[in-house]
Amino acid sequence: MKDYIEKILLSLAPQIQNTSHQIKVIGDNAISIRSYPGALSQIITNLVVNSLTHAYHNLDKAGQLQVEISQQDDKVLITYSDDGRGIPAESLDKVFEPFFTTARDRGGSGLGLHIIYNLVTQNLKGTILCESTVGVGTKFAIALPLNLEL
């Protein structure tokens, strides 16, 4: 898992290298999963792009993004976080809705988190939760089965 996520992040280097943001991957190198790698790649990609688009827009700050991987029983836990602007409480329950965006004026479609939600819950048979505090950042907690019936 860790190696694969690091490779996904390498593919995002062109989008990240012109920023001052840092992305760190933490976790046990031995954790592996039997699942759909394309879906996992799209989830990680959309989370990072979402942070770059929303979390640091008009903030003069070097962002810290983090992906943490751990194993609990028969699940892999992926915690993705950023220390950006955060999501207002009144928007938090809408973030996974299709077409909800705070960046329509900058070309946002509002589909990124909706796609992530569907990939996690439908394709990968997992769960996803979002926590956020304005001015502190946002965290997504994803739990996926270690061995998905393919």
In-domain check, residue 106: yes
Distance of CA 59 to the CA centre of its chain: 20
Is residue 80 a contact partner of residue 113, using CB atoms and an 8 Å limit?
A: no
Q: 22-27 and 75-82: which strand pairing?
A: unpaired
Residue 30: count of CB within 10 angstroms of its CB: 8
In-domain check, residue 150: no
Angle between helices 37-50 and 2-11 (to 10 degrees): 50
In-domain check, residue 24: yes
DSSP annotation of 34: B
Q: Could you tell me the residue range of the domain that residue 10 belongs to?
A: 2-145
Query: Digits of tens for pLDDT over the chain (150 positions)?
Result: 999 999 999 999 988 888 889 999 999 999 999 999 999 999 999 999 989 888 887 778 899 999 999 999 999 999 999 999 999 998 888 889 887 766 545 555 556 799 999 999 999 999 999 999 999 999 999 999 999 987
The pTM score is 0.91
Q: For the chain, how many residues are written?
A: 150
CATH of the domain at 42: 3.30.565.10
- pLDDT given for residue 101 in this prediction: 66
**Two tokens at 16?**
């990240």
Is residue 120 a contact partner of residue 141, using CB atoms and an 8 Å limit?
A: no
